[in-house]
A = this chain, B = another copy of it.
Amino acid sequence: MTDQNPAVVSHTGCAPLSIGMLLYPGFTLLDLAGPQTAFGLNGQTHLIWKTMEPVPTDMGVSMNPTKTFSTVPDNLDVLFVPGGFGTVEAMRDKEILDFLAHAGSTARYITSVCTGSVIIGMAGLLEGYRAATHWGFYAPLEAMGAEPSFERVCVDRNRITGGGVTAGIDFGLTVIAAINGQRAAEITQLALEYDPQPPFAAGHPRTSKPEIIASVEALMAHMISPGVQIAKAYRQRMAAAVDRLATA
């Protein structure tokens, strides 16, 4: 019943990938699970946290890390950060940001889904890059000086970032195609029977009713103002650092 040493295999005929996925209190399970299940067919996924204790999601259940910040291998094929209602706390957590900056320095791709892009941004990993995020969380992304992308999946050199929650499936397949090619991505897509048939046209503000949009904005309101403040403070620190370099 241990998952510390799962067999490192790929089911798509390519060399197994090594994927590092950050957990943090209040991440959204589906942000992680779309990419994890897609990546899991193509190699080994490390779920990473400070300790090996269970990490609670934002909706009452928990997952278990398989590696800590100090035991996860370097030179990951993909470093990944999910979003969630715990994003603002993660933006403030120096230990998380230091880990991401370190792991990001040797990772082949630096990636996120949903509000996770703002966390990798706080670690300095979006300087000069375009990035996607949840449709309700552009204000903090813009406040930190990142260039917002309104795509479902944004590919800018080795940064690949997805929109909100379910975008993680489109994102995961895009990452696999980038690394392992279209054939591996198509095998993964068919295994996951990813042939979506949304029951309503409510999945994005451009198609959703104003009253539904207002309800979801209310759900996220508590995250926006602190997210913007933290992002602005980050931008000021970066600007001051640039000034110091310029006058040194």
Contact = CB atoms under 8 A, between A and B. Distances in A.
B215 A203 contact: no
A206 to B, nearest CB: 8
A62 B3 contact: yes
A44 B37 CA distance: 24
A195 B191 contact: no
Interface in A1-31: 1-3, 6-7, 11-13, 25, 28-30
A41 interface: yes
Contact of A186 (B29, B33, B164, B212): B212
A56 B1 contact: yes
Q: How many copies does the complex hold?
A: 2
A185 interface: yes
A71 interface: no
Interface stretch (A93-101, A117-125, A168-176): A168-176
A64 B66 contact: no
A170 to B, nearest CB: 5
Contacts of A61: 3, 36, 40, 45, 47, 63-64, 66
A166 B196 contact: yes
A165 B37 contact: yes
A216 B187 contact: yes
A169 B193 contact: no
A91 interface: no
Interface of A: 1-3, 6-7, 11-13, 25, 28-30, 32-34, 36-37, 40-41, 44-45, 47, 53-64, 66, 114, 134-135, 152-153, 163-167, 169-170, 173-174, 177, 182-183, 185-187, 189-200, 202-205, 207-209, 212-213, 215-216, 219
14 contacts: A7-B60, A41-B59, A45-B59, A152-B197, A153-B197, A164-B191, A165-B192, A170-B196, A173-B200, A185-B202, A189-B198, A190-B202, A190-B208, A195-B198
